[in-house]
Structure 1
Amino acid sequence: MIRWLMNEAAILLLALQFLTRLPVPAARLFTQARLAATPRYYPLIGLLIGCVAALAYWAAAQVFPPLLAALLSTAATLLFTGAFHEDGLADTFDGVGGGVTRQHALEIMKDSRLGTYGAAALVLALGLKAAALAALPLAFALAALIAGHGLSRASAVLVIAASRYVRFEGKAKPVATGLGWGGLAVTLLSAAAILAALIGAAHCPPGAILSALAGLALGHVALRLFFEPKLGGYTGDALGAVQQASEIGFYLGLLAWL
């Protein structure tokens, strides 16, 4: 039991190292098997990122108007994660938008330069996040940030479970085959716990929760319909794009209910 707990703790630390810029001392804990198992904990790491975002929003809202507070909160998450998922969103739109063929799209997505499609998608995504959060009452915005970051990363993990990785190598290759049914169960249980906490702590009405989840699901499906026909599956960048679309969809769904 102790050995199992230590192994899971190591996997959790590797997931934290993978998704954030925190200086996690996990190098001595690394194995390929543990890295492959990290997706099961992505929702929990997302929950931590959401708490950082909510704290930044709350602190900024004490001094600045809502839109500026939302922009500063977004900036805090970009610093905390190294714009990891936002980079994936931009690369996905550059590749799928500019690639004539599947191979051409994959080559563009590996290019570190930012193109027109990626720049437009990135500006639009950041603008939608800030505008949606600023339009929500403060308590709802804080709850949405915490839950939205966690649930949107569960949404990305569902792509790993339901689709196939299309590169022979890449940053997401180690995690593409390590999820398994047990890991998927942990992901879904984590998402359910986040929802339960949102309902209990923030007193969100059922209609608000359903509307927010509908928005998240719409973002998930829309992005997969955008890149999967061209790519025939997903890449690490595509997972970032799904996370971003799901997060934005969650905020917009909640705002639509209000």
Structure 2
Amino acid sequence: MRLLKQMAIAFSMYSRIPMPIFEWEDKDYKKAIAFLPLIGVVIGCICTAVYWLGQGHQPGVALGLILALIPIAITGGFHLDGFMDVSDALSSYQNREKSLEIMKDPHIGAFAVIGLIKYGLCFLAALLSLTMQDSSISALQGVLAYSIGFVIVRALCGLTSIYLPKAKKDGMLNNETKEADFFVKIILYISLIIGAGSGLIIWPIGTFIALIAVLCYTLHYSYLCKKRFGGVTGDTAGYYICMAECIYLVAVAVSSYITDAYSFCLF
């Protein structure tokens, strides 16, 4: 029962999926981040089902746009809000204290809008390159890898949120992770291993390239947060999820073309 409550809290915090209303206890609230990858499972399953049902019946452009909208609809744009706040702060080139203030500002800055447009175009270009491929097999592999990426990225986000220093000791992320125990960490590690393992079984080359790309970005994210903000925050966690998902998707899209080119050369 307690496990179900912790899952329900995770879905209430990180998604817009309706959950039963009950009183949150601190010990359950502080374990909710362990189930962040479950939101990725839901997003990935819906994306896969939509593509499988629509393949051959809907144009590739329509499928690509629907697949791009699914994670936004399920999360309510929760992570995009953090992405825009951090984009504003990074583009301001202010000191650490001023950058943290900018992230707290509820107003939308010009750099946030510009960053969102660039991000959206990059994400859509990579996704459409998958759904509009001539090879249905490569497209299916790519969409499956894309779907699994939601789990992998959220598991990594949970782990980085736990292990990296916090920029604000009184922030929401610090409250969620400061008492993260072995149970929370092991669930996130298991989610990461299952996600990566599933991807490597379904499409070894594409998943391997995407994993390397995301792990390299994770190292960059760690350095960036420490240097610019003094650690991670709830906003940087949202920024990480958006950026890592986009990088993972781009790597998958590029890999699909490399695989097709290699197969064409062989035959």
Q: Percent identity?
A: 22
Secondary structure of the 1:185 match is helix
- What is residue 106 of structure 2 aligned with on the other side? 112
* Paired residues of 2:79 and 2:242 also in contact (CA < 8 A): yes
- What is residue 210 of structure 2 aligned with on the other side? 212
CA deviation digits over 1:100-142, x for unaligned, max 9?
1211111111112221222222222222222112212431232
Aligned mate of 2:16, from 21, 25, 41: 21
Unaligned runs of 5+ in 1: 1-5
- What is residue 94 of structure 1 aligned with on the other side? 88
* Paired residues of 1:52 and 1:77 also in contact (CA < 8 A): no
* Paired residues of 1:134 and 1:141 also in contact (CA < 8 A): no
- What is residue 3 of structure 1 aligned with on the other side? none
Mapped partners of 2:125, 2:54: distance in 1: 15
- What is residue 141 of structure 2 aligned with on the other side? 140
How many angstroms does 1:82 deviate by? Answer: 0.8
* Paired residues of 2:149 and 2:248 also in contact (CA < 8 A): yes
Matched residue count: 249
TM-score (norm 2): 0.85
Asked if 1:31 corresponds to 2:25, the answer is: yes
* Distance of aligned partners of 1:170 and 1:138 in 2 relative to their CA distance in 1, 3 Å threshold: same
How many angstroms does 1:94 deviate by? Answer: 0.8
Matches within 5 A, 1:124-163: 124-136=118-130, 137-163=138-164
Asked if 1:184 corresponds to 2:201, the answer is: no
TM-score (norm 1): 0.87
* Paired residues of 1:53 and 1:76 also in contact (CA < 8 A): yes
Mapped partners of 1:48, 1:67: distance in 2: 23
Mapped partners of 2:94, 2:200: distance in 1: 45
> Which residue identity does 2:235 align to in structure 1?
D
* Paired residues of 2:41 and 2:148 also in contact (CA < 8 A): yes
Q: Kindly report the root-mean-square deviation, in angstroms, between the aligned alpha carbons of the 2 structures.
A: 2.0
Mapped partners of 2:12, 2:172: distance in 1: 13
Unaligned runs of 5+ in 2: 131-137, 257-267
Q: Which has the larger radius of gyration?
A: 2
* Distance of aligned partners of 1:219 and 1:122 in 2 relative to their CA distance in 1, 3 Å threshold: farther
* Paired residues of 1:67 and 1:131 also in contact (CA < 8 A): no
